[in-house]
Every structure is written in structure tokens, then in C-alpha cells.
Amino acid sequence: EKAEIGLIGLAVMGSNLALNIAEKGNRIAVFNRTPEKTDTFVVEAGALREHIVPTKSLEEFVAAIRPPRPVIIMVKAGEPVDELIATLRNHLSAGDIIIDAGNANFRDTIRRFEGLKDSGLTFIGMGVSGGEEGARHGPSIMVGGTEASYKRVEKVLTSISAKFKGEDCCAWLGENGAGHFVKTIHNGIEYADMQMIAEIYGILRDGLGLSAKECSDIFGKWNKSRLESYLIEISAAVLKASDPITGKPMVDLIVDRAGQKGTGKWSAIEAQNMGVPATAIEAAVAARSLSSFKIQREAAEKILGLPGEGAIKPASRDAFIADLEMALLAGKIGAYAQGFAVMAEASKEFGWSLPMPDIAKIWRAGCIIRSQFLDDITSAFRAMPDASNLIITPAFSAMVKETDGALRRVVAAAVTAGLPVPALASALGYFDSYRRGRGTANLIQAQRDFFGAHGFDRIDGVDKHHGPWGSGLADF
């Protein structure tokens, strides 16, 4: 019996995805460049072995799959993907589908999709979120490629995806790079979510002087209310853990220098490319980069000292902690509104027709940013599919009005104490700018016209587009 699908690359994510596919009763052929890995994989598969066809050569692998053959490749993003595609071109036949399930840059995905056209092969760029656990037991799956190629794999993919109240967290989102683009924005939002949680943790730890355990209790409590989400849940869990060697809270022993592999950065870059403000995401990416300047930060602290008052002494601690919860919710609304606005623009620019309610829908379970909150976004976009921004939908405009006072108080308290809250402050700045009909760019237009005769529009519609600036500064 032929396999329904094939998978190449049996590192952690690849093996977990393959086991998930097998577990759902789909016959799967697997191949790995080093054959020993295939052997260990088969042993570890245990009872799932009956659904797995291990192969030791690409000829054997290809022959084992039912045509048109869908082949998932799960190798390191970048060069290795191009190399593998070049090799597979010589083994696959017209109609076969190469599916890149790694964290590719969607611009590479578009290039690969186009590059394969003349060979008759098709290409799917598939965003997979949920980490190792997700891959094994139910990830969120964001598919880009031709709709026909998706139809060939839909059954297998929906069988392995996470479910939210019985609905599949897997969807075809558009042609070529659509799936990887949406995964990139997912990661940009992931960065913002994580950074804002870390900023609130900073206020609790350094502003209020709470222990890791006390912070854990607070996050744990929030996870039972409107902030309920995977990232809040794991934050509570990690803050509670103790180091087995010293017995101290584990987080207190971890160097405050965060890594990044690029996807968060790509969403900020693409937002800038399209002229869509995604300030909370940008701030989160920059904050990660700044975290890596550990040595410079320590040196600067010696030279400049710590700013502000340090401690926060609220009149009511409970009321302030309640404010922190609402501030986090408000910040989150800002980050998601920005992420969705970037997707709306990209949809036009790349001709994708990205289905906003469906994107929110497939993020409700399985992925790293999964939360109850995404169900509210799904409903908001279903009720108002053409909303120019999430924050003007009835449900979210009400939420902004309800929570932005808390965000303002928290940002103000943090600034006074000298505690950095770049992502939260960016979200607040975004709300404040976005909701203000009359801004201050009239002055910028005047400056541009002064130094470069760039012209401006007048509010009275008079057809005169340059100011009375005279010949230079001397006139004033």
C-alpha cells in the first residue's frame, strides 16, 4: 500500500510531525539524509510503526508515495531548503507537491513557488506553530500555495492540526507565500506578547519588589480571566520553578539576554516596507536585540546610574495590580491590531485575499499565541470583515475604551520609576495617535516644504501648495 504523504528531515520538529501524521492513521514515508536517524526514529515510533514506511534512498522514498506525491520537507531554513528542492526536482514528477514546513521567509517561498512552475511541480509554504509539543499533538497550520495542491493534502493536515471547540486550526490562506507570511506575523505578535508580559513582570519584580513565586501567583490568576493564554500560563509555570542545583527560583538564575531567529524581525521589516505602523511588534524586536547588549548595559548602568524613582508605591497595591492586568490586555489589543493591519495591507500588495476571521480562528489553539482572546478577534472580524483596524470594531473599540486608562496609568508609573516598558508604551502611543483626528504632521509638512519645496495640502482646499517661507531663515 502506497503512503499518503512523505516527509524528509527527521530532526525534532520533523519526527514529531511524522509521528502525529502516523498516529492519525495516515500512511507516511520518511527519509533522512543520515539513515541511522531513520532507524532510531522507527524504533521510537513503537506501535505507530505500522503506518510508517522508512526509506533509505530518495528513489525508494519517492516510489513509496501515492502520486501526485506530497512531500513535506522539514530542514533548516535557508540554503538547505534550496539544496533539497534542487535534489527533489530530479526525483519527483509533474503534479507532485513539495511542502516546506520550516520557518521560511515568505519572500523565499514566493521565489521557490515561482521557480518550480516550469518543472510542473508545485510548492506549498506551510507555517507550523506550536513548538515540539504542537507538532507532535496538534499544531496550528497556515498553508500557502495553490488551492488545488492544498486539496490533495487537506485531509492529512486537518487530521493532525489542533482543534478549537471541534474546529480545525488549519486553513489554506492564499497563493505562494501567504502561509509563511501569516506565520511570520504570528511570530511578530508572539514577540510582542512575550515582551509585554516581560515588561509587566519587570514592574512586579523591580517596581513592587515581588518574588518570582508572587509573580507566578499573579500570572496564574490572570490565566483564569480575560488574559487566559498559553504564554501567560507558561509564564506562571516558569516563574514557579526552582533550580534543582541551588533551590533558587529558576528565572532568577537565567541571563537576561534573549535569542531570536529572525521571524519576528521579518514582520517588523515587512510592516515598514508597506508603511503600516506595527510599533509594538517593532519595539518587541528591538527590546530583544537590546537585551543581547548585556555587557554594554552593565557598563552604561555604572556610568549613568539607574533612572527614576525605582520603586512604585501605589496607594492601593491591589488596584495597581488590577491595572497591570488591564494594561496587558490593552497592550495586547494594540499588538494584534497592528499584526492584522499588516496582514490586511500585505493581502492587497501580494494579491492574496487573506481571510482575517479564518486566521484568527486557526490561531485559537495549537500555536504559541493561542488564547481565548483570539476567539474574540474571530468574532469581531466575522461581524465586520472589512474593518480597517481591529480597534474600530464594536467589540474591540469597547475594550480599548475600557482598558486604555489602565495602560496609561501603568506606563506613567513605569516611566516615573525608570522601568523600561517599550512595547506597552508603543501600544499606548499607537492608540493615542490612531484615535486623534488632528495630529501634528501639519508642522512636518511645513518643514518639508521649507527645506525641500515638497508642497502640502490645505485644510480649506485652496489650490495653493507652498508656504510663504521667503528665501530663507533671515526673513524670520
Residue type at 372 in one-letter notation: Q
The reply to whether 103 sits near ligand 6PG by the rule CB under 6 A is yes
The reply to whether 292 sits near ligand 6PG by the rule CB under 6 A is no
Among the listed residues 16, 122, 176, 187, the single contact to ligand 6PG using CB under 6 A: 187
Is 103 within any annotated ligand binding site? yes
Among the listed residues 264, 334, 339, 422, the single contact to ligand 6PG using CB under 6 A: 264
- Number of chain positions touching ligand 6PG (CB under 6 A): 13
CB closer to ligand 6PG out of 45 and 189: 189
The reply to whether 131 sits near ligand 6PG by the rule CB under 6 A is yes
Among the listed residues 268, 367, 380, 407, the single contact to ligand 6PG using CB under 6 A: 367
- Active-site residue, 190 included: yes
Among the listed residues 260, 291, 372, 416, the single contact to ligand 6PG using CB under 6 A: 260
Q: Of 23-31, 110-118, 255-263, 355-363, which part binds ligand 6PG (CB under 6 A)? A: 255-263
Strand partners, 54: 30
Among the listed residues 68, 125, 130, 207, the single contact to ligand 6PG using CB under 6 A: 130
The least CB distance from residue 288 to ligand 6PG, in Å, is 8
CB closer to ligand 6PG out of 179 and 264: 264
The reply to whether 371 sits near ligand 6PG by the rule CB under 6 A is no
CA 100 to CA 73: how far, in whole Å?
A: 5
The least CB distance from residue 180 to ligand 6PG, in Å, is 11
Is 177 within any annotated ligand binding site? no
Among positions 404-463, residues that touch ligand 6PG (CB under 6 A) are: none
Q: Of 58-66, 105-113, 163-171, 259-267, which part binds ligand 6PG (CB under 6 A)? A: 259-267
**Among 4, 175, 190, 270, which one carries the catalytic annotation?**
190
Strand partners, 122: 97
- Active-site residue, 183 included: yes
Is 288 within any annotated ligand binding site? yes
CB closer to ligand 6PG out of 105 and 122: 105
The least CB distance from residue 363 to ligand 6PG, in Å, is 10
Q: State which residue has the least CB distance to ligand 6PG.
A: 129
Among the listed residues 100, 168, 175, 190, the single contact to ligand 6PG using CB under 6 A: 190
| Number of other residues whose CB lies within 10 A of the CB of residue 427 | 31
Q: Of 32-40, 42-50, 153-161, 254-262, which part binds ligand 6PG (CB under 6 A)? A: 254-262
**Among 183, 265, 332, 361, which one carries the catalytic annotation?**
183
Is 454 within any annotated ligand binding site? yes
Contact predicate 181/350, CB 8 Å:
yes
The reply to whether 78 sits near ligand 6PG by the rule CB under 6 A is no
Q: Cite the annotated binding site by residue number.
A: 9-14, 32-34, 75-77, 103, 129-131, 186-187, 191, 261, 288, 448, 454
Q: Which residues bind ligand 6PG (CB under 6 A)?
A: 103, 129-131, 187, 190, 259-261, 263-264, 367-368
Active site residues: 183, 190
